[in-house]
Chain A
Amino acid sequence: MNGWILAATVALGAGVGTALWGVATGPLRRRVVAQNMSTALVCPALLLLSQGYTRPSYVDLALVLALLGPVGTLVFARLLADELADDPPRAWGVTWAVAGFGAVVVGVVSAATGPSRAMVKLLVIGALLIGGNVVASRALSGGFRGVGRG
């Protein structure tokens, strides 16, 4: 067990544990935000695990999650728009905090990788993850008006 895996364990245990509590209880607006946060926490954890196991190919999992995680949140934002329009989530504090965590993890892992194409790949994953989660958060708080049924 090295520092990378320890950091991933803490992020998973504390972060995803909290996200699970959020997704299981409370009003819908809290649940969708918690679902978005779970993606934003697990993707950096996967990067840390890939670094901890020294398996660069595991980075592909983080890449796929950074692409499809926000898409999953967009699905909820789109198809639950009616319910969310009555009671839109306002969770910019959490969103930016988790985005900051992702940025820190991507920065540290990139620094450990050193300047190479692999580092650019990590930075691309970070940009996709943070951009995706911020846009998904935006979509949840009124990105779809919820009046149409298209």
Chain B
Amino acid sequence: MADAVIVVVLLLVGATATTAVAVRDPARQALVLSVLGVVLAVLFTVLQAPDVGLSQLAVGSALTPLLLLLTVRKVRRRARGKGRQE
């Protein structure tokens, strides 16, 4: 019974990670990825590893989405620029 929280969070991590793979559009994928980061941080916390959880929170909640979305924006701008030239 004491492990119920671990089971619930593990299931959540499994479901979120599968969703992150299944979603195809990079911007929407970044949204799922940021949820995955937060859920992983909870998993590390319930497994009594708060240091790792804190790393995951720091990186996953704001930094990873920012890097991903900036890359998406650059790629889209380039594609738009190319489209205008042709």
Task: Determine whether A and B are in direct contact in the complex, meaning some CB atoms lie less than 8 angstroms apart.
Answer: yes
Interface residues of A (CB under 8 A from B): 1, 5, 8-9, 12-13, 16-17, 19-20, 23-24, 28, 31-32, 34-35, 38-39, 42, 45-46, 49, 53, 55, 57-58, 60-61, 64-65, 68-69, 71-72, 75-76, 79-80, 83, 149
The CA of A38 and the CA of B39, in the complex, are separated in Å by 9
Q: DSSP class of B's interface residues: helix, strand, loop or mixed?
A: helix
Interface residues of B in 2-36 (CB under 8 A from A): 2, 4-5, 8-9, 12, 15-16, 19, 22-23, 27-28, 30-32, 34-35
With contacts A20-B19, A38-B38 taken as known, whether A75 is within 8 angstroms of B4 at the C-beta atoms is no
Can you show 16 pairs from A to B with CB atoms below 8 A apart?
A: A1-B4, A12-B42, A17-B15, A20-B19, A20-B35, A24-B22, A28-B28, A49-B42, A64-B57, A64-B58, A65-B57, A68-B57, A68-B62, A75-B69, A79-B66, A80-B69
Q: Is B1 positioned at the interface, with any CB of A under 8 Å from its CB? A: yes
A98 shortest CB reach to chain B, Å = 14
Which residues of the other chain, A, contact B4 by a CB distance below 8 angstroms? 1, 9
Nearest B-chain residue to A78, judged by Cβ: B69
Residue of B5, B16, B69 near A76 (CB, 8 A) is B69
With contacts A32-B31, A72-B34 taken as known, whether A61 is within 8 angstroms of B69 at the C-beta atoms is no
Which residues of the other chain, B, contact A19 by a CB distance below 8 angstroms? 35
B50 shortest CB reach to chain A, Å = 5
